[in-house]
Each structure stands twice: as C-alpha cells, then as structure tokens.
Amino acid sequence: MDLLNTLVEKGLRRELPTRDEALAVLASSDDELLDVVAAAGKVRRKWFGRRVKLNYLVNLKSGLCPEDCSYCSQRLGSKAEILKYTWLKPDEASEAAAAGVAGGAKRVCLVASGRGPTDRDVDRVSQTIEAIKEQNEGVEVCACLGLLSEGQAERLRAAGADAYNHNLNTSEATYGDITTTHTYADRVETVQQAQQAGLSACSGLIAGMGESDEDLVDVVFALRELDPDSVPVNFLIPFEGTPLAKEWHLTPQRCLRILAMARFVCPDVEVRLAGGREVHLRSMQPLALHLVNSIFLGDYLTSEGQAGKADLEMIADAGFEVEGAGTTTLPEHRVHEEGGGCGSVCSAEPSAAAGADAEQSAARTDLVAVRRRGAGTDLAPNA
Ligand code: SF4
C-alpha cells in the first residue's frame, strides 16, 4: 500500500502526514488492519524501541465536580455510582503512589476532579508531590488538576512536578457539544501555561463520543501543533448515569486505527493507551502495544482496569519490555533542558467514512466496573 509506505517514511523523518493521509488510515478496511499496525509499529520502534512506559493514576479527589463534561462519571449531575471523596492526605496519596511504583510505574499521575485548583489546593498538591518524591526516588510526577490560574503552574513546578496533564479531548468544532462550562480555548491555554512554566505537557483525546473521522484528525493535528510530550488516547467508557451512556461506537479494529493515526501524526511523542482499553480493545490489547509506547497500570480514576499483573504479563508475552526508571522516555531530540524528558484523563453524527465502525456496536456494560479499591477506600490498590 503506497499510503503506508509514505506514512512510514514520513514518521521516520518526523514529518507531518497530510489530513487526507490521516483520514485514509481511519477509513482503511479490516483486511488492511495488520498492515496498518505493522507500518505504524515501524515508526513506534524507531523512536521508542520495544519499551512500554507504565503510568499510575491516583485520584486525589473523586466526584462532585461542578463542570458538565458529558463523558465524565464525576460531572455535575452524574448518577454514576462512583466513589466520592474529598482530598486525600499527602501520606494517603503517597501510599497509593508507592503501590504503583512497586508495580513498575515510572510516572505517577495525581488527578483531582474540579474546574481547577484554588491556591490552597495547589499547596495541598505541592505537599503531596513532595511526599511522593521523598518516598519514591526518581519517580516522575504529573499533576492533572483542571484549568490553571496565573502562577499555579510555576508553583507546581517549584514543588517538584515534572508534568501537567490537560486533555483537549475532542475537536474545537465539537467541543461545545460535550462541555458547556468551559471552552476548548480554556484547555489550550492551560496546556500552554504548563509548557511556559517548564512542565512537560501531557494532552490527549477521548475517542468514541460520536465524533466523525474529521473530528479525530482535527484534534490529533491540534495536539501535534500544541506539541505536548505525551498524548494519552482514551476510549470512552460509557458510564451508566452519564449523558454518553449509550455511546457504544468503538470496535477493537476502530481503536487500533485511531492509535495508528495518532502514531503517524505524533511519531516521536509518548502516545499513551489510556482509559477504556480493556472495555474496547479487549483481547486485541497486545496489538496496540505495537502503536503506543505507554499505558496506565492498574485502575483508572473511577473504574477498574485489568489486574496490574495481567498488564505486565501482556507486555512480556507480546515481546515488549517495561521501561526502567533510568531510561529517558523521549528521543534525545525532544528532551528539553528544563522540564522535559518525561498524562491523563481528566477524557454529531458519525461520518460515512467511518463505515461499519460508526454503527452502534454491542454495549459491553459487563466490562465497566466502578472502582471500589485503592485510593479513597480501605482496600489494597490494583498495581
Ligand atoms: S473531566 Fe474533569 S472538569 Fe470535567 S467533569 Fe470530569 S472531573 Fe470535572
């Protein structure tokens, strides 16, 4: 396939594909799927070898958010029966983080529900970062606290944060359909504030919200322009009790095409397989390792992932290796002098080009398990 040869050559040269080429990846057929995965896999191996970086989520504050992001189980008016709790204390958060690090994670992602932190919240999170860094030598810490106000990114950086996550989630054109309480521009601004403060930016998307192929290409191209160091790709978990509960559009094949497109557009960036992988990729998860170089270990913010041990076995069985703490994730040319070198989740009518994938697929509500263990509970975490 000429298209795939072109995309591989561009990926190896870190050259941006055209929008039409990115759209063609999404429109490719199931018969072409393994060729698409193999082609994007060449680009992945060029920049990241066979390494898989593990990241571990700690939900510092769960539920009761005043924002209305329709994909989110923690949103205003959510009827999802998730864990709800206020800020974990620094030692509680550090204990949860230590479980992830012991499981092989090199980055801990500290997430809190809400529009954005108050200055007091930044103080709290700063103490938590300090506690985690003190108890887990060499661990990277990413904060995901929502929209930032002036000076907050600098304060988090000074407290030892390595990275900040804030996802664009979907295209600018459809952003207003999924959230009304803040704008796409607000999100872009927060990512830029983090970058300006010397934090490694992490910003990604959520697929499966009923968006078109054009929307997916728009958001991935917008991310490439924003130039984060890591791009988490989430697949919508349609939680009962949220407005998107009936949006079951994704198939494993569709997810693989989306990940391949993200890899071709962001060849040398940490592309992370994020929330929803177990629900939508299911037994095809190992193929995704040929496309992404990073995953979350264990559970998500409000839902349970597969057992941490199963994640590690999957990586080994597929012929990949867990990235060690002493290894720099990004290729040398991307490692900035300050702040760089290193996620996320705070996650229209389908287009004709999306073909069979765009139809409603079988709802797999049996695979959506609300998190009942780890941070905010008395039960041991999954790591
Ligand atoms: S995504 Fe973040 S800001 Fe939006 S509703 Fe969920 S917790 Fe609140």
At 112-131, the pLDDT tens digits run 999 999 999 999 999 999 99
Does residue 229 register a pLDDT over 80? yes
At 206-223, the pLDDT tens digits run 999 999 999 999 999 999
Q: Does residue 113's CB lie within 6 angstroms of at least one atom of ligand 1?
A: yes
Does residue 354 register a pLDDT over 90? no
At 259-277, the pLDDT tens digits run 999 999 999 999 999 999 9
Q: Tell how far the Cα of 62 is from the centroid of ligand 1, in angstroms.
A: 10
CATH topology for the 20-367 domain: TIM Barrel (3.20.20)
Nearest to 77 by CA among 92, 64, 90: 64
Give the helix/strand (H/E) hosting 321. strand 321-322
Q: Tell how far the Cα of 72 is from the centroid of ligand 1, in angstroms.
A: 6
Reported confidence tier of residue 376, pLDDT bands at 50, 70, 90: confident
Please report, for the chain, the start and end positions of each structural domain, with discontinuous segments joined by +. 20-367
Q: Does residue 72's CB lie within 6 angstroms of at least one atom of ligand 1?
A: yes
Distance CA(328)–CA(206), nearest Å, equals: 26
- Pocket test of ligand 1: the residue of 61, 68, 69, 84 to mutate, having most ligand atoms within 8 Å of its CB, is 69
Reported confidence tier of residue 183, pLDDT bands at 50, 70, 90: very high
Hey, is 325 helix, strand or coil? Answer: coil
Does residue 156 register a pLDDT over 50? yes
What DSSP character marks residue 312? H
pTM: 0.90
Token pair 């000429």 is found at 2
Q: Which residues of 118-147 are buried (b: 16+ CB within 10 A; e: fewer)?
A: eeebbebbbbbbebbbeebeebbbbbbbbb
Q: How many C-beta atoms surround the C-beta of residue 317 within 10 A?
A: 10
Distance CA(303)–CA(312), nearest Å, equals: 19
Question: Which residue lies with its CA nearest to atom 5 of ligand 1?
Answer: 75
Residue 358's pLDDT is what?
47
